[in-house]
Amino acid sequence: MKVYKTVRGLQRQLDKERKNGKSIGFVPTMGALHAGHMSLIKKSTSQTDITVASVFVNPTQFNDKGDLKKYPRTLEKDAKMLADHGCAYLFAPSPKQVYPKGDQETIQLDISQLTQYMEGPNRPGHFEGVVQVVHRLLEIVVPDNLYMGQKDFQQFSIIAYMLKKLKLKTKLVVCDIMREEDGLAMSSRNVRLTKANRAKSPILFQTLSFVKKNQNKYKVKTLEKKALEMLDIRSFRPEYFSIVDGKTLAPVSDISKHKFVVACTAVWAGEVRLIDNMILK
């Protein structure tokens, strides 16, 4: 696997690949890679000729600068893991490479419909930063396929909207949530959990599973209330538990009236913010 730190270097190589008729799959990440990321790499290598991964901790999507500072960085280990899984190229740029004209420059896209709920109000500016960086990375890599995880439900929904609105040719492939054996969704942030909180963190998966199982038994409001109660354990603080339409991301009041419904949650486990979701139907 070759590592590129500059846009020019990567683009030259990818132009050659394209001339040779190779299809390109792209997996954008912020590093501190784990088996969840590798499932995206595996999907990409099974569907395209050349897999490109990026490791870039994008400053513009962190509304909390403390979180940006604490974000784990393990580039050498990441590179080894990617190489072992058949990734052809790793793009690990500096902010200057990604944002040569400064990070204020961005595209015009109104995503306010999709950011009204869940992560949106709790992380102001976050999705604008995500749209900005994914758009820029797509401009650099120009992949045939883009691989993202269902783990970040609102994120992939907003990127799907961006691709459609801007009529980009890249196809989005959404991959299942990879979990630890006890149900905790894999995340780069999990390494920051204290031992005691790590032991309690399967409560997110258990709560989502409870809601899925009981979706026909209780009203949405009751389900959400019960879920928040389940998540409100010592040293945990649920931020939201929302049952929303899987397309519009708007809250639903009656599950039976919607085709695609998902439950999403964010919970503070001590100082670590965990998110998870489950498709109800």
Q: Among 7, 53, 186, 230, which residue sits at the site for ligand AMP (rule: CB under 6 A)?
A: 186
In whole angstroms, how close is the CB of 225 to ligand AMP at the nearest point?
Answer: 27
> Per rule CB under 6 A, is residue 39 in the interface with ligand AMP?
yes
Q: From the candidates 37, 85, 126, 258, give the one annotated as an active-site residue.
A: 37
Q: Name the residue nearer to ligand AMP (CB basis): 220 or 246.
A: 246
In terms of DSSP bridges, do strands 2-4 and 272-279 run parallel, antiparallel, or are they unpaired? Answer: unpaired
* Cα separation, 104 vs 143, whole angstroms: 24
Q: Name the residue nearer to ligand AMP (CB basis): 111 or 177.
A: 177
Q: Among 178, 193, 263, 272, which residue sits at the site for ligand AMP (rule: CB under 6 A)?
A: 178
- Residue 258 is a catalytic residue: no
> Per rule CB under 6 A, is residue 87 in the interface with ligand AMP?
no
> Per rule CB under 6 A, is residue 141 in the interface with ligand AMP?
no
Q: Which stretch binds ligand AMP (CB under 6 A): 31-39, 117-125, 214-222, 265-273?
A: 31-39
Q: Among 78, 119, 128, 152, which residue sits at the site for ligand AMP (rule: CB under 6 A)?
A: 152
In whole angstroms, how close is the CB of 79 to ligand AMP at the nearest point?
Answer: 14
Q: Both ends of the chain: CA-CA distance in Å?
A: 40
Q: Which residues of 14-23 are buried (b: 16+ CB within 10 A; e: fewer)?
A: beebeeeeee
Helix spans in the chain (H): 7-19, 35-47, 65-70, 75-84, 95-98, 119-122, 126-141, 153-165, 195-200, 203-213, 220-231
The sign of the CA dihedral 222, 261, 161, 68 is positive
Q: What is the DSSP secondary-structure string of 239-274?
A: EEEEEEETTT--B-S-GGG-SSEEEEEEEEETTEEE
> Per rule CB under 6 A, is residue 78 in the interface with ligand AMP?
no
Q: Among 7, 26, 36, 131, which residue sits at the site for ligand AMP (rule: CB under 6 A)?
A: 36
Which tokens belong to 114? 């999709």
Q: Among 10, 26, 29, 205, which residue sits at the site for ligand AMP (rule: CB under 6 A)?
A: 29
The sign of the CA dihedral 220, 226, 228, 231 is negative
The site for ligand AMP (CB under 6 A) is made up of 29-30, 36-37, 39-40, 148-149, 151-152, 175, 177-178, 185-188
Q: Which active-site residues does the annotation give?
A: 37
